[in-house]
């Protein structure tokens, strides 16, 4: 009997297997310790996914800010943040019933596949297996991104949609084909459905097509129109929903967000106060100062988050070496556009997380640039140190991957697991909300609350909530009356105007204290809202 001969997989295949196994193990570990959404963003998207799964459509039973201008609950959802992360989370629930673990499944699959995108992109741009391998492992050990990769968040989805849009556009600029124009538009639409600032990709791509696409002006215009058509194929339903429910293509939050004079203006009530007149009357010096601070913070994000500090100089060098590659030129251009928008146009939102979120689209290009920049540096250094170039490049490539692994592990341990091995820090986030509702018992049933984090409150309790407004006790009562709030929960993170009320030096007869709880060093005070006399 002749038995088939089994040969060992090739060197390249063995590395691909190693990448897959590593990505799977790391993704499973990251998902395991994230037992609940925890952060406001993740709770928002998870709650949206729950509502979609439960047949409530794209409606929300909470507000997280007042920019939308609506004054009732429930209200049309995704008027400030976009719906794709919630749709993806809901897809996991449709497969395996509702729950946070089920919502994580599609993100887990995308996470395991992500390093192969970095590997392929590096191999495509450099024709080097070694750099493809380094890029793949740097994609797995991604520093601060690893904290949010396996959550119901927009990070991973924007990394996919944004970077794929860059690549599709780059291919279109080299080989203009009608289907590539539509594909580029489709990906721009998906990026916009992931993040509101993803809409920047469409005019960015349109300008690139008009300037750099081969052919006569008529042909460039044709490709631009096809890209716009592709964009509306994916995002059109969101605009139609806006027209149906709001009577306009764009939401009120889009315009109101332009006129913030401080981050807390997100919670200013009513939103109609946020006008150009108020904005310019605040003075030129504070407006310039806020934008300068945003420039500094976003620069730190680029260095410490996207570049993990030790990779940043190599990313810059690699990006310079690849600057003539269309996809890298597009990525560099988009980086500066994003930096400008998140520092000058939306400085408060951008410096407080917007630039961090959106820079995820640049991560595949960043890891490729880091791999090439490191290779180039070691090659130059080898001439002085008399090293064998390829051996030194492989050695330092492994060393930098291990450094990324350690950095990612430390960041993840501090931010997700914490110092108590019996209870991860992440699992305890917002636990006071659930404990307080249990303490209130039947009084909490069908009640509406005012809290600092309405998305997480809703995700954990299923009860409707609105945010604590920026203002004084009179503003607090005005919001409570407008939204028919029965209970208010305050903690130390309150606006200055509410500190005397929170500390007990000022009391209101309509807001008696009904319970007090401590979580760590923070005291949570629960107030009932009595009807007006």
Q: Which pairs count as long-range contacts for 373-378, CB under 8 Å and 24+ apart, including other chains?
A: 373/313, 373/314, 373/315, 373/316, 373/317, 373/318, 373/319, 373/321, 374/134, 374/314, 374/318, 374/400, 375/128, 375/130, 375/131, 376/317, 376/318, 376/321, 377/314, 377/317
435 token code pair: 């404990």
Alpha-carbon distance 45 to 92, whole Å? Answer: 13
What is the SS3 assignment for 241-268? Answer: HHHHHHCCCCCHHHHHHHHCCCHHHHHC
Residue 204 · residue 333 · CB < 8 Å: yes
Give one DSSP letter per residue of 120-182, joined into a string: HHHHHHH--HHHHHHHHHHHHS-TTHHHHHTSSSSHHHHHHHHHHHHHHHHHHHHS--HHHHH
Please state at what angle helix 217-246 crosses helix 201-212, rounded to 10 degrees. Answer: 170
pLDDT tens, the chain, 533 aa long: 454 555 555 678 899 999 999 999 999 999 999 989 988 999 999 999 999 999 999 999 999 999 987 778 999 999 999 999 999 999 999 988 888 999 999 999 999 999 999 999 999 999 999 999 999 999 999 999 999 999 999 999 999 999 999 999 999 999 999 999 999 999 999 999 999 999 999 999 999 999 999 989 999 999 999 999 999 999 999 999 999 998 888 888 888 899 999 999 999 998 889 999 999 999 999 999 999 999 999 999 999 999 999 999 999 999 999 999 999 999 999 999 999 999 999 999 999 999 999 999 999 999 999 999 999 999 999 888 878 888 998 999 999 999 999 999 999 999 999 877 677 888 777 778 888 888 888 888 889 999 999 999 999 999 999 999 998 999 999 999 999 999 999 988 888 999 999 988 888 889 999 988 877 778 889 999 998 87
Structure tokens at 16: 């691909």
CA pair distance 4, 7, nearest whole angstrom: 10
Global pTM value:
0.94
Q: Which residues pair with 516 in a beta bridge?
A: 525
Rounded to the nearest 5 degrees, what angle is found at the Cα of 304, between the Cα atoms of 406 and 403? 20
What pLDDT, on a 0 to 100 scale, did the predictor assign at position 3?
A: 44
Question: Hunting for tokens 């640049």 — which residue is that?
Answer: 362
Give the H/E segment covering residue 388.
none
Cβ-based neighbour number of residue 296 at 10 Å: 12
pLDDT at 5: 53
Angstrom distance (rounded) from CA 414 to CA 33: 12
Domains, the chain, in order of start with CATH, read 11-262+272-417 (no CATH), 430-528 (3.40.190)
Question: Distance of CA 172 to CAs 168, 176, 215, 216, 218, Å?
Answer: 6, 5, 12, 15, 16
Smallest CA-to-CA distance from 522 within 438, 453, 422 is with 453
Residues 373, 286 contacting (CB under 8 angstroms)? no
């Amino acid at each position: 009997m002749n038995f088939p001969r089994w040969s060992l997989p090739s060197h390249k295949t063995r590395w691909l297997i190693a990448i897959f196994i590593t990505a799977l193990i790391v993704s499973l570990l990251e998902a395991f310790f994230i037992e609940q959404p925890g952060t406001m963003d993740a709770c928002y998207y998870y709650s949206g996914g729950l509502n979609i799964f439960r047949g409530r459509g794209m409606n929300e039973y909470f507000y997280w800010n007042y920019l939308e201008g609506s004054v009732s609950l429930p209200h049309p959802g995704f008027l400030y943040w976009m719906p794709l992360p919630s749709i993806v989370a809901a897809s996991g629930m449709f497969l395996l019933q509702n729950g946070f673990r089920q919502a994580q499944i599609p993100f887990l699959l995308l996470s395991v596949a992500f390093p192969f995108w970095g590997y392929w992109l590096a191999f495509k741009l450099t024709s080097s297996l070694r750099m493809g391998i380094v890029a793949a492992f740097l994609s797995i050990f991604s520093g601060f991104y690893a904290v949010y990769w396996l959550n119901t968040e927009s990070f991973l989805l924007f990394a996919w949609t944004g970077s794929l849009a860059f690549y599709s556009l780059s291919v279109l600029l080299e080989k203009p084909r009608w289907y590539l124009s539509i594909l580029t538009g489709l990906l721009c639409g998906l990026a916009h459905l992931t993040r509101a600032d993803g809409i920047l990709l469409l005019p960015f791509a349109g300008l690139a097509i008009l300037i750099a696409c081969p052919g006569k002006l008529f042909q460039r215009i044709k490709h631009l129109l096809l890209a716009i058509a592709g964009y509306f194929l994916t995002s059109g339903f969101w605009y139609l929903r806006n027209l149906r429910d709001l009577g306009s293509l764009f939401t009120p939050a889009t315009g109101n967000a332009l006129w913030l004079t401080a981050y807390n203006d997100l919670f200013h009530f009513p939103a109609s106060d946020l006008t150009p007149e108020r904005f310019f009357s605040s003075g030129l010096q504070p407006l310039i100062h806020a934008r300068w601070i945003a420039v500094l913070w976003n620069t730190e994000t680029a260095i410490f988050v996207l570049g993990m500090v030790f990779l940043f100089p190599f990313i810059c060098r690699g990006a310079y070496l690849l600057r003539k590659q269309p996809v890298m030129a597009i990525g560099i251009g988009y980086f500066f556009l994003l930096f400008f928008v998140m520092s000058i146009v939306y400085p408060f939102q951008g410096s407080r997380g917007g630039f961090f979120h959106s820079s995820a689209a640049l991560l595949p290009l960043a890891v490729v640039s880091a791999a090439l920049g490191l290779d180039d540096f070691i090659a130059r250094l080898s001439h002085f140190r008399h090293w064998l170039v390829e051996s030194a490049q492989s050695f330092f490539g492994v060393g930098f991957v291990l450094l990324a692994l350690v950095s990612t592990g430390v960041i993840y341990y501090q931010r997700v697991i914490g110092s108590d091995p019996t209870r991860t820090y992440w699992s305890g986030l917002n636990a006071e909300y659930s404990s307080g509702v249990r303490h209130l018992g039947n009084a909490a049933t069908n009640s509406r609350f005012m809290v600092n984090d309405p998305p997480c409150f809703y995700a954990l309790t299923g009860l409707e909530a609105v945010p604590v407004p920026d203002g004084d006790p009179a503003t607090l009562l005005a919001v409570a009356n407008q939204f028919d709030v029965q209970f208010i929960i305050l903690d130390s993170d309150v606006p200055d105007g509410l500190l005397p009320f929170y500390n007990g030096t000022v009391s209101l007869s309509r807001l008696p204290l009904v319970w007090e709880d401590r979580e760590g060093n923070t005291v949570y005070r629960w107030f009932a809202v009595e009807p007006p006399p």
